[in-house]
Amino acid sequence: MSKLPFELMLALRYLRPKRTFVSIITLISILGVALGVAVLIIVISVMSGFDHDLREKILGFNSHLKVFALDKNGRAAAMQNYTAVMRLVSSNKNVRGVAPFVLGQVLVETEPANTNTQDALTAAPYLRGVDVNAESSVSDLPKKKNIAAGAFDLSGHSVVIGDSFAVNMNLSVGDRISIYSPADLKKMKEQHGNANEEAVLPDDYTVTGIFGMGYYEYDANVIVTSLENAQELYNLDENVHGLMVMINDPYQVVEVRKELQRALGSNFYMTTWMEENSTFLNALIVEKNVMFYLLFFIVLVAALCILSAQITFVVQKTREIGMLKALGATRLQISGIFLFQSAIIGVIGVASGFGLGMLAVTYRNEFLHFMRRATGWELFPASIYGFGELPAVITPRDIAVICGCSFVICILGGVLPAIRGGKLKPVEALRYE
């Protein structure tokens, strides 16, 4: 005698592969559930990876909080005596690091080694002036792992540039570039056409290092120099544009800002990393939710296949149901047979989809590299998506929701046929032709 429940034993027996139309529908149902679960796991994991990596890249290059000064009219102004402000900000127990910065757009022109065969290239990146001694407390930029070539050396007239910027401008370590500040461009515009027009010469800088933060927006559009050089370019004297602040918990930045605002007063204002990148972060959250709901229709289609197979199965087994009821089977037991069938299909489909999805997520980048070699197409261009490789984060909560909801939908797909089978009367079922 089998130790399995009566309903489960019959459900397993009826699900044995046979050369019937019902078996084909059952196989399609399992494949549909597996495909739906796998696609959901892949897409949601990739979307979670985008969100996670984007936050990591943002916080690795930018601070959690930026402090700016206001003038008497409430407009942004250069921050004077910034060292005193730094001491006040550092006194907060939640603050981990503080560093001054200068940030603005400049015009860069390359200086080719061979002017006869190469033309000078121009670009307008953002120049960031940093305090070499304090920068490591507010960003990962000085770390060796992020320096692709050369060194993080900002002594003298030197700059460190992003790897994508270096490729776009055909630059390497040791090359020289000319930097026009906004003041230089303004002076050139004012003197244009004057009889006594004087040539405005840019400052020359040497590329001493190339960094790679793994985020195209930074690697292609930002160059870094010392705080002193940036102050000279922007005619700031001993002032700076603001302070970069790192706190212990980046998700407590709103509360910390309130504390610092009370300490600094109304002559300062602050922006958070969430505010500065709200467009990207909110878009990712919305896209992740929308993709989840849209792709879940694949599982719903599979549930409809289960419903179709179970209805056909009830019709085919009507006489057997009548015999079981005549032998004493209850309505609940008959319904349980079909619910167990739906559950078995759901378990096989969800388990197969889970394995397929996890396998695809694990080897996602290998697949992209293979497709690029085979077709020559860049399926995941860094210039568009901002990442060198396809990110993914497997979140147990998301996996549990996907697998759990898919299994429940599979069960629900067999409810109506189960109720129908349980309601059949023995006499009518035995007379069924």
* Extents of the domains making up the chain: 6-56+280-431, 95-247
Distance CA 42, CA 83 (A): 49
**CA-CA distance, 381 to 360, in Å (whole number)?**
19
Strands (E), 212-292: 222-226, 242-247, 268-272
Average pLDDT along the chain, 433 residues, taken 10 residues at a time: 60 60 72 86 86 78 89 85 91 92 91 68 92 89 88 92 91 91 77 65 89 84 93 90 91 90 90 81 78 78 77 70 70 77 85 92 83 74 64 87 88 79 63 54
- For residue 1, what pLDDT is reported? 44
Q: Residues 6 or more apart from 167 whose CB is under 8 A from it?
A: none
Which DSSP symbol is given to 250? G
Cβ contacts of 171 within 8 Å, gap of 6 or more:
110, 161, 165, 177, 207, 210
Q: Which residues contact 112 (CB under 8 A, 6 or more apart)?
A: 118, 119, 120
Cβ contacts of residue 302 below 8 Å, gap of 6+? 29, 31, 32, 33, 35, 36, 349, 409, 410, 413
Looking up tokens 């985008």 gives 50
Query: With contact defined as beta carbons under 8 Å apart, do 154 and 130 qualify?
Result: yes
306 vs 351: CA distance, rounded Å = 16
